[in-house]
A and B are shown apart, each in its own frame.
Chain A
């Protein structure tokens, strides 16, 4: 599946979280990145060519920081220009139907603040519901949003986790299946090359043995998981 990540940020280069995500996408995935602020500054939004661009992809991701409970204004402008050209809307609407729409949203607050009784009093599903309705209108398959919270407080281990989960989201659109995520990580481990690690011949043997161990432990875990489903 071909993925396009549309980034809506007023100054991408100045954002630590966005550059981290962009570099992750470049390293681990084949997703294409589109910085719409840079595009707008360069040539504005040309509806026909933008629609043609979108139609080349199977999965479209809007990625942005949440500013005052909304995406930065540039995303609204992009949607208005590209998705609402009345002369072309009907044909475009037919062609874009069935594609996936995902969101990657970067939040400064903790996730638990977004709930009834919490600091913000509304859930992220409520706050992002306009995109869900938008997806419904264009018959896009709306994916569960991928939320990044408190990026600047993350430890190295948390950043490592974020990196792999984000790459997984871009490549699969999934945020829910632990089993599929484990398979994804395993697949990446299988593809590790000499360019990525300084392993001696013996190290490779140890590494392969560990992969087999991970495989075995994953199978046992899967067996448990299946059993608990049968019991449940």
Chain B
């Protein structure tokens, strides 16, 4: 399965850590963590489906 690159994962984790540390209370931390989970999930789905957008007929990977 196509996966996010290590660099992308690292970037996401760093940003997630930054947001978590900024949260002043547990519910805000929960919201930010959940937002990052969704972000990661959607980024992963888009990665898997790369090339299926914009007509779904071709993928730049195949060029």
Contact = CB atoms under 8 A, between A and B. Distances in A.
Interface residues of A, number: 33
A159 B49 CA distance: 30
B34 interface: yes
B46 A27 contact: no
A213 to B, nearest CB: 8
Main secondary structure of the interface of A (DSSP, over half): helix
A210 B30 CA distance: 17
Interface in A196-225: 196-199, 203, 207, 210, 213-214, 217-218, 220-221, 223-224
B38 A182 contact: yes
A189 B23 contact: no
Interface residues of B, number: 27
A160 B22 contact: no
B42 to A, nearest CB: 5
Interface string B39-62: 100110110010011001000000
Contact of B30 (A164, A195, A221): A164
Given A185-B35, A224-B46, A163 B27 contact: yes
A27 B27 contact: yes
A220 B42 CA distance: 9
A214 B38 CA distance: 9
B53 A220 contact: yes
Nearest to A210: B15
A79 B63 CA distance: 66
B38 to A, nearest CB: 6
A192 interface: yes
Contacts of A218: 42
Contact of B49 (A157, A161, A185, A224): A224
A98 to B, nearest CB: 32
A72 to B, nearest CB: 27
A138 B53 CA distance: 47
A219 B35 CA distance: 15
Contacts of B39: 213-214, 217
Contact of A197 (B28, B37, B56): B28
A57 interface: no
A161 B27 contact: no
Contact of A227 (B15, B24, B46, B56): B56
Given A164-B34, A217-B39, A218-B42, A224 B28 contact: no
10 contacts: A182-B38, A185-B34, A196-B23, A196-B25, A197-B24, A217-B46, A220-B42, A221-B45, A224-B46, A227-B53
Given A160-B29, A160-B30, A217-B42, 6 more contacts: A182-B42, A189-B35, A196-B28, A197-B24, A207-B19, A224-B45
